[in-house]
Structure 1
């Protein structure tokens, strides 16, 4: 099967550089070179293995602290759709080629082989899950004068299956240098899916759980999913009774590593800029925090006087947060909405405690991402210690099996 991936949206025109020969739907040939399109077109490669197209200024990490533009190269078909908001560039690519790109974009292609195999399998499962479960994983929430409760699903892409950025899964075509191991991992797991009671799993993952994985309901709708529950990310770990105590400490866990050599093999170049992923710290003055809330949520609370966690998940991630200012208060949830509100980009996670130090609000936090499902850095450490991809998957998705 093919996967349709949205690369760019909202432009007035699309400029593309073709390497190799392409043809449009009418059979018109396009030779190698640069082209500018302002109307809908579909270009198919004459030789999928050697032909490619390149796009300048593709934005990656949209809204996150690593956001930037890159020139990226893709194989497969180039498709341009015209919508009210502008032109949408789509890449139609075979499933296993898509998975190979994802595991080389989400992680470095030099990762341990067993991690690449585990990631190939969950990336394939995550992609396939909504095709069999269209009624689930939608956005939702509620909004009133004092509370914002939102979560974000996957139904925001009516014109393609997935986007190419962190909202779905990172997909950067053949831009990243693929290692033989990445292709070998996809071949070794071709057609395999993660299953629970025979059904394909919604195989969520994040960069670093912070020592305890999170349950599904903390980040999305209030639904208990047996294989997306919370547990300690270590071989013999017991959690503290207090999430606040856990966050303030640095207990051992698979994802607690300062092995620079391993991290350089595991993380893509721009992710290597972030090394305080296990425990982190940010600080704001009351006025800075009020300005953030005003710009991110449109709420005029005045200088902030108190930040209070009303509800936490098992990992300590907050999913209801009350912020009180001189003029008013607001309650924010869930996990991602909190991270967006308290940063110009995104907080690393919503697992944090708040201290007032010399008139400033100091947020001390744990982990990077929502923490649900597989912990990418923890899985890398497990693979480096000799665990197989099956052992890694059964650790992070309890009660699951792997099958075609």
Structure 2
């Protein structure tokens, strides 16, 4: 890899896409600028600005004439898809714009270099005012994750085999969510992959410095680039990769407490129900167990700060509420929910399998994101929770007591922010979360 890779990022997927070109963009010998609309006309893409119409079969690419200054804005881009902060906003991007027909809609794709992409990702995933060491650590893991996913895609395409993410029987429905649905671009721009919001989120000199200081650096294990996952808050214990995604053991994605020592007074056999209960109901010391607003503001953007009970949280449902919710979210009529029974937990206490018992149907579901989706109108904060059934005057309530925000695999962003505030260098932060990996320069 002597040259910086060029990547394709899927941004928007709609029947009609409106965009504004700030500067000159070329399609062959044609120069476009100003406000445009893209719609489908048969199998073609039609571009119009009220005065001029252009038609292209299947796809079209608009390239900036002056890459350093020209940019484009996509209008009404949805962020936080299916999460509680979902909303539309206008977003601006440097690089090229590709429009293509996909599943009877138009997909907007941003084409740019990995390093330009990283400057935005770091500012989108967290506050651009984060400490330099945290920003450098995030630059490395975002770069590593991206390049690892591109290699994985190439490998899957070469094998020409179906990538299975669902195992279904009469008694179980087990599914994990990864990147198997992206065919025409490398990564998407939302939380499904990594948040990428172009130049919309204000960057800082520190973000640019972090990317330049780690230019081309990735984490590697043996001869492969590491699949460097991360989440907002692990809840005190980092989870193993295979408990969340495909059943592959990555030696650098194992379980450990998010601390320099194990907290006293707790059993760490969190696959055990009693130990998990004590853990979820307790407040064990961990890097990510913090209420320091200055540290949290480094990781949480404005919409993330709408959530403040991430280390330990409680969600309460009446029996009728949870019955309707599960029916709506799974598409399965379980009838009145009688019980939620933990079947299997991972090393962090996150549920891998949960049995839903209704008076019409009983089914075990997993993995962690499938469980989170079934028990919330968006996504439950995490699958690390215990279930308490409370009955009062014949009425049943289900109380979920949980820990953490996200899947908990790899780097814990809030924990890493605390480590940065404590004076840890970025390579020490990386070695804490990705044990056994090596920091290497690829280009």
Q: TM-score, normalised by structure 2?
A: 0.88
293, 297, 319: which one aligns with 2:352: 319
Unpaired runs of 5+ in structure 2?
Answer: 40-44, 46-58, 157-161, 270-274
Task: Measure the CA separation in 1 of the matches of 2:164 and 2:294.
Answer: 39
Counterpart of 2:31? Answer: 29
2:17–2:75 CA contact under 8 A, matched in 1? no
Q: Deviations over 1:191-225 (max 9, x none)?
A: 11101123210001111000000001110122221
Asked if residue 150 in structure 1 is aligned to residue 183 in structure 2, the reply is no
Rg larger in structure? 2
Tell whether the 8 Å contact from 1:139 to 1:151 is kept in structure 2 after alignment: no
Structure 1 counterpart of 2:9 = 5
Contact 1:219 1:370 in 2 (8 A): yes
Residue 216 of structure 1 is aligned with which of 232, 236, 241?
Answer: 241
Task: Please name the residue that 1:396 is paired with.
Answer: 433
* Distance in 2 of aligned mates of 1:217 and 1:271: 27
Q: What does residue 229 of structure 1 align with?
A: 254
* Paired residues of 2:287 and 2:416 also in contact (CA < 8 A): yes
Q: Does 1:179 align with 2:216?
A: no
What secondary structure, in the 3-state scheme, does the structure 2 residue paired with 1:305 have?
A: strand
**Alpha-carbon distance between aligned partners in 2 of 1:175 and 1:23, rounded to the nearest angstrom:** 23
| Alpha carbons of structure 1 residues 146 and 293: separation in structure 2 relative to 1, 3 Å | farther
User: How far 1:295 moved relative to its partner?
Assistant: 1.1
Query: Does 2:249 match 1:249?
Result: no
Task: Indicate whether 1:274 and 2:320 are aligned.
Answer: no
**Is residue 92 of structure 2 the alignment partner of residue 91 of structure 1?**
no
Give the superposition deviation at 1:133: 3.4
Moved runs in structure 1, 4+ residues, more than 6 A?
none
- Structure 1: which 5+ residue stretches go unaligned? none
Pairs within 5 Å for 1:130-169: 130-134=149-153, 135=155, 138=163, 140-169=165-194
Deviation, structure 1 residue 138: 4.8
Aligned match of 1:284: 317
Structure 1 match to 2:100 = 81
Superposed CA offset, 1:28-70 (max 9, x none): 0113x10112213211111111111111110001011111111
- Residue in structure 1 matched with residue 52 of structure 2 by the alignment: none
Given that 2:125 and 2:299 are in contact with CA atoms closer than 8 Å, whether structure 1 keeps it comes out as: no
Cα distance in structure 2, aligned partners of 1:85 and 1:393: 43
Matched with 1:16 is 19
The alpha-carbon deviation at position 305 of structure 1 amounts to 1.1
Tell me if the contact between 2:230 and 2:413 (Cα under 8 Å) persists in the aligned partners: yes
Deviation at 1:236, TM superposition (A): 1.4
Residue aligned with 2:88, SS: strand
Whole-angstrom CA distance in 1 between matches of 2:29 and 2:214:
36
1:154, distance to aligned residue in structure 2 (A): 1.2
- How far apart in 1 are the matches of 2:18 and 2:360? 49
TM-score by length of 1: 0.97
1:339 positional shift: 0.3
Q: Deviations over 1:283-337 (max 9, x none)?
A: 1111111111211112211111111100000111001100111222111100000
Give the secondary-structure state (helix, strand or coil) at the position aligned to 2:256: coil
Structure-2 separation of matches of 1:355 and 1:153 = 31
1:139–1:150 contact (8 Å) kept in structure 2 = no
Matched, 1:331 2:332: no
Distance 1:344 1:70 in 2: 21
Q: 1:189 aligns with which of 203, 210, 214?
A: 214
Judging changes above 3 Å, is the alpha-carbon distance between structure 1 residues 396 and 297 closer, same or farther for their aligned structure 2 residues? same
Query: Which is worse superposed, 200-209 or 222-231?
Result: 222-231
The answer to whether structure 1 residue 54 and structure 2 residue 87 are counterparts is no
Q: Summarize the Cα distance change of 1:347–1:105 in structure 2 as closer, same or farther, 3 Å threshold.
A: same
1:295 matched residue in structure 2: 328
